Amino acid sequence: MADLVTGDEWRKCVSWLIRCKLISDDHRVNASDQVCEFVHLLRDGVILCNLCNVLSPESIPSKNFSQRPNNSQFLSVKNIKAFIQACNEFDLNPDDIFMPNDLYELEDIGKVLRTLSKLSRSPKARQSGIEGFGISASHNEDYFDLADRYSSFEQIHAYDDYGENDDKEEEIYEAIVYQRRRTLPSITDVRNYPIDELVETEKRYLELNLKMIKKHFMDPLRSIIPKDDFESIFYMIDDLIKVHTELCRDLINAKEQNSSIGAPFERNKMKFTVYGYYCSNLPLAEEVLQDLMKRCEVYRQKIQAFEVKMGEECGSTFPLNEILKVPMQRSLKYSLLLDTILKKTDSSHNDEESIKAGLNAMKDLGNYINEMKRDTEMLNNIKHIESSICCFDMPVNTELKDYGRLLMDGELKVAEGTSNDKKTRTIFLFDKVMVLVKGAKVLDFWSSNDTYKYKGAVVLSHYSLFIENSSKQGRPWTFCLRLEKKTDEENAKPECFKLYARNFESQGRWQHAITEAHNHTIPMRAQEKGHDFLMFSYKDPTECSFCKRLLRGAFYQGYKCKKCEINLHLECVNNARKPHCAATIASDTHQNITTVRAIADFPTRSILENGDSNTYLTFRKDDVIQVIDRINSEWSKGTLRGQEGLFPLNYVRSLHDCERSESYRETRPVRPPLVPNRRSVDPSDMISSRRENQSNLEMLNYPWFIGKMTRDVACKTLMNSPSGTFLVRERELSGYALSIKFENSVKHIKIHDTNSREYYIAECKKFTSIKLLVQYYESNNLKHSFAELDTTLEQAYQQPPPLPPSTSHRIPIIGKCRVEFNYSATALNQLTIHTGEIIEIISKATDSRGWWKGRLHGSIGYFPHSFVTELEQNGN
């Protein structure tokens, strides 16, 4: 039995934390009589790590702990272990230091208090001048049932930020930016006063902070400190100067001309998004600066000298790391200043609507900045998790962050299938997958870097969630959730995972988190609206198509419809209107846009004589056709010269193939198949073949994809090729196969696919596309999966040598246009364009769908014509 302390001893610790200015006097835990409030304050380790840095600055570098664990067990325990490591620096006896589970699992809160008491009275802590606290040990049952009480403690809330740091940052901001008036405003001046304050503080912020950073630090240090360090410390300062030079000018003009003071904020909202990047980089800037000054005395002396110079000019001297925080403070002040102006503005005033719009823009910006900061920290946390898992073999070009945000993690007992064998697993739940790992058998007490062994992953969209009741429910680890794999097959053997939680509350949290993950991946009601939404990461700041607010975060900020390309917040998905898919070049922008060239005239005379010629697309040999839909394995729909219709796939080749030498491919078309009757097409057939159609269209541009080919023909095709030559073919019945010449024979491997759009030839290694599968086995030996095949995919069949440059072949240019808005390509056959660039227009065949085809910097692709202005022949 643990040696426990009396029930009120924790209050002494709370008073000590207040003296350390880690929490405020009016903090909830100080007014509470619940020890659970106190435990919750400590349990994520953040307060403990900051406590060490208050008692002895920089004893735990900021990069070594997470300021926002967000209820993550992995991150909370990592923080606790960082604190335990730091206790050694305070010369605490190892026997006086609690273990991570004593706090996180609430196994011995008494020992946690004794450790903190010893720490508060250690010689090193006393040097801080902060009075410590003592406790008297006794045996007390007050803490025995704490774990049970805490499990039902449901008030999970964000605690106050650390008062000392906030006060210090506010003090520096006011000293540099704010200048109090000596006289109070008159009654008639009540509205102009906050406007004057906005304009004057903007001038001071630009001149005394941003420009001073450039003058006193950036300019002299540019040639002194390493380039990488310089760019990390002063990241985006030049951009901020440009933005605020323009804003300052606009505000002065608005004040002098008595025009709208809110308009500059609404107009420049997108330019202000630079603050998202700046504020997210601040922790790194501070870390690099501290490291720079530590490792080189010359750098430290120069920076301190520049701090003094800036202080002489500005009136107050502050360290550079604090000066760099002023822009973050300023970015959050605009909504407060505009709100004050709005309150002083009469509802009948002409400027009221403009101020409201500006205020909403700055509130939106504040949310955007906060989410960017959180996501940047989230990405760092995910990197830590990924690096801690050994034997974690993810698909090629994939990182753990590609599976979304971490929603929850912790320990569960897991049983697979019908087995009752429960195994303890640590679970990391992301938006798209649930990763199962096994904890290291022996944890290094003094290390904060635990390692885990990868044991499996569950793609959540493939599974349905159920609550499973047990006759034994009520005991620990009997609260069960069941993940059952979705299947369309009758009498199929169910694949499932049973997840056992410690108690009812834990079961509820996991149920909520998994349900949330399902909704993130496939938003509820999205399909009812006719959309096909995809969780999407946007490279550039983007507004929601519905509410016009910024999509928030650093990755997977929102949802893009693959049909009509609208961009939405998760919360706005239910408000989306039905898509106008005719306004886009294809139903699936990411994969389905493909250009093919005719290798013979079509329709043939026999088809024309049978009537119904309007069903078909009429073309002649060498015409270029835009593919817009795949009907089945033999027919597609396309456009040519503004006309739409069906055409047989054996009458065309991909443009890439047609540019090769004629000797490399048979160009004589075979007899076309029977024409599909549109009225007899089963919609379910089209839905079930959508993925196959997408794959074919995507692979048309790769030399190794042959199209439909029988096994015998593949043998004859490859028999005279060098060993290692391969091709991918569409099988006669369905699916795909990989055929490869190895030594003196041709081998055939079926490419399996799952309902979750994964492809594999060996079940241990799955890929999200056949292209990635091929890329992987081009550099990884097949013998690891097929013992008799000691080879990689060495050479694609019919891989042509590079074509010699031709001066006779020129792409016709029908005009030019100037880019008015940035656009980031979302598919390989699109162009990424930036404001001011000039694009050569090649084709307007898809004008009615909102797209033109053009050439930019030597690349050819599609771009939205609404993002450009066409130039006349004289360039105007």
Helices (H) and strands (E) in the chain, counts: 29, 28
- The fold for domain 9-160 equals Actin-binding Protein, T-fimbrin; domain 1 (1.10.418)
Structure tokens given for 646: 């069906």
Amino acid in the structure at residue 631 = I
Structure tokens given for 705: 């994809």
User: In sequence order, which residues have a C-beta less than 8 Å from that of residue 62 and are 6 or more positions away?
Assistant: 283, 286, 287
815-871 in CATH: which number? 2.30.30.40
The CATH number, out of the four listed (3.90.1150.10, 1.10.3720.10, 3.40.50.2300, 2.30.29.30), of the domain defined by the range 393-521: 2.30.29.30
pLDDT of amino acid 196: 92
Could you identify the residue written with the tokens 């993925």?
691
pLDDT of amino acid 155: 36
Number of Cα atoms under 13 Å in the Cβ half of residue 546 = 17
Q: How far apart are CA 433 and CA 270, in angstroms?
A: 33
Residue 749: how many CB atoms within 10 A of its CB? 18
Model confidence band, residue 153 (pLDDT cutoffs 50, 70, 90): very low
pLDDT of amino acid 696: 57
CA angle 235, 241, 244 (to 5 degrees): 130
The CATH number, out of the four listed (3.40.50.150, 3.30.70.1170, 3.50.50.60, 2.30.30.40), of the domain defined by the range 580-688: 2.30.30.40
The CATH number, out of the four listed (3.30.60.20, 3.10.450.50, 3.30.930.10, 3.40.630.30), of the domain defined by the range 527-578: 3.30.60.20
More confident residue, 564 or 583: 564
Query: Which residues face 429 on adjacent strands?
Result: 408, 434
For 472-533, the three-class secondary structure string (H helix, E strand, C coil) is CECECCCEEEEEEECCCCCCCCCCEEEEEECCHHHHHHHHHHHHHHHHHHCCCCCHHHCCCE
- For the ranges 371-375, 458-462, 667-671, the lowest mean pLDDT is seen at 667-671
Q: What is the percent of the chain where pLDDT is above 70?
A: 78
Q: Is the pLDDT of residue 429 over 60?
A: yes
pLDDT of amino acid 281: 95
Question: Cβ distance 128 to 163 under 8 Å?
Answer: no
Q: Is the pLDDT of residue 664 over 60?
A: no
Q: What's the whole-number mean pLDDT along residues 239-246? A: 96
Model confidence band, residue 250 (pLDDT cutoffs 50, 70, 90): very high
Q: How far apart are CA 830 and CA 588, in angstroms?
A: 13
User: Alpha carbon 860 to chain centroid distance?
Assistant: 28
Q: Is the pLDDT of residue 163 over 50?
A: no
User: In sequence order, which residues have a C-beta less than 8 Å from that of residue 148 and are 6 or more positions away?
Assistant: none
SS3 689: coil
Q: How far apart are CA 22 and CA 39, in angstroms?
A: 15
Q: Is the pLDDT of residue 752 over 90?
A: no
Model confidence band, residue 3 (pLDDT cutoffs 50, 70, 90): very low
Amino acid in the structure at residue 582 = A
Q: How far apart are CA 216 and CA 212, in angstroms?
A: 6
Structure tokens given for 37: 């409030």
Q: What's the whole-number mean pLDDT along residues 707-713? A: 79
pLDDT of amino acid 561: 86
Residue 490: how many CB atoms within 10 A of its CB? 5
Over residues 794-821, the pLDDT tens digits come to: 888 754 333 333 333 456 788 899 988 7
pLDDT of amino acid 135: 85
Q: How far apart are CA 294 and CA 287, in angstroms?
A: 11
Could you identify the residue written with the tokens 């490399």?
664
Question: Cβ distance 342 to 355 under 8 Å?
Answer: yes
Over residues 24-83, the pLDDT tens digits come to: 888 878 777 678 888 888 999 999 999 999 999 889 988 788 888 877 889 999 999 999
Over residues 172-223, the pLDDT tens digits come to: 788 888 765 545 455 456 788 899 999 999 999 999 999 999 999 999 999 9
Torsion angle (degrees, nearest 10) of CA 634, 640, 644, 648: -10
pLDDT of amino acid 407: 93
Structure tokens given for 370: 């906060």
Q: Is the pLDDT of residue 524 over 50?
A: yes
Backbone angles phi, psi at 146, to 5 degrees: -65, -40
pLDDT of amino acid 590: 34
Q: What's the whole-number mean pLDDT along residues 270-286? A: 95
Architecture of domain 704-799: 2-Layer Sandwich (3.30)
Query: Which residues face 644 on adjacent strands?
Result: 639
The answer for 722, left when phi > 0, alpha when psi is -120 to 50, beta otherwise, is beta
Q: How far apart are CA 533 and CA 781, in angstroms?
A: 37
Amino acid in the structure at residue 688 = S
Q: Is the pLDDT of residue 669 over 70?
A: no
pLDDT of amino acid 755: 67
Question: Cβ distance 331 to 273 under 8 Å?
Answer: no
Q: At what angle do helices 237-256 and 192-205 cross, to 10 degrees?
A: 150
Q: Is the pLDDT of residue 591 over 60?
A: no
Structure tokens given for 638: 């396309």
Q: How far apart are CA 203 and CA 251, in angstroms?
A: 10
Q: Is the pLDDT of residue 719 over 60?
A: yes
More confident residue, 168 or 119: 119
Question: Cβ distance 737 to 726 under 8 Å?
Answer: no
Question: Cβ distance 281 to 235 under 8 Å?
Answer: yes
pLDDT of amino acid 694: 47
DSSP string, 591-647: T--EEEEESS-BS-HHHHHTS-GGGBPPB-TT-EEEEEEE-SSSEEEEEETTEEEEE
Amino acid in the structure at residue 769 = S
Backbone angles phi, psi at 483, to 5 degrees: -100, 115
Which residue from 719, 694, 522 is spatially nearest to 591, judged by alpha carbons? 694
Question: Cβ distance 627 to 598 under 8 Å?
Answer: no
Q: How far apart are CA 83 and CA 97, in angstroms?
A: 10
Q: How far apart are CA 450 and CA 488, in angstroms?
A: 41
Structure tokens given for 361: 């823009």
Question: Cβ distance 74 to 385 under 8 Å?
Answer: yes
Average pLDDT, the chain: 79
Query: Which residues face 738 on adjacent strands?
Result: 728, 749
Model confidence band, residue 687 (pLDDT cutoffs 50, 70, 90): very low
208-374 in CATH: which number? 1.20.900.10
Sign of CA dihedral 853, 855, 859, 864: negative
Q: Is the pLDDT of residue 426 over 80?
A: yes
Per-domain residue ranges for the chain?
A: 9-160, 208-374, 393-521, 527-578, 580-688, 704-799, 815-871
Query: Which residues face 863 on adjacent strands?
Result: 852
Query: Which residues face 809 on adjacent strands?
Result: none
Could you identify the residue written with the tokens 């909830």?
28
Show the DSSP H helices in 566-631 as ranges: 605-609
State the maximum Cα–Cα separation within the chain, in Å, rounded to a whole number: 103
SS3 381: helix
DSSP string, 41-67: HHTTSHHHHHHHHHHSTTSS-GGGS-S
CA angle 283, 289, 293 (to 5 degrees): 150
Q: Is the pLDDT of residue 158 over 80?
A: no
User: In sequence order, which residues have a C-beta less than 8 Å from that of residue 531 and are 6 or more positions away?
Assistant: 561, 563, 564, 566, 573, 576, 578, 579
Report CA-CA distances (Å) from 187 to 190, 191, 193, 261. 5, 9, 10, 20
Say yes or no: do domains 580-688 and 815-871 share a fold: yes
Backbone angles phi, psi at 655, to 5 degrees: -60, -35
Parallel, antiparallel, or unpaired: how do β-strands 389-390 and 452-459 relate? parallel
Question: Cβ distance 843 to 849 under 8 Å?
Answer: no
Structure tokens given for 478: 């009997």
Structure tokens given for 675: 């024409």
Structure tokens given for 436: 């199962």
Torsion angle (degrees, nearest 10) of CA 785, 787, 791, 796: -60
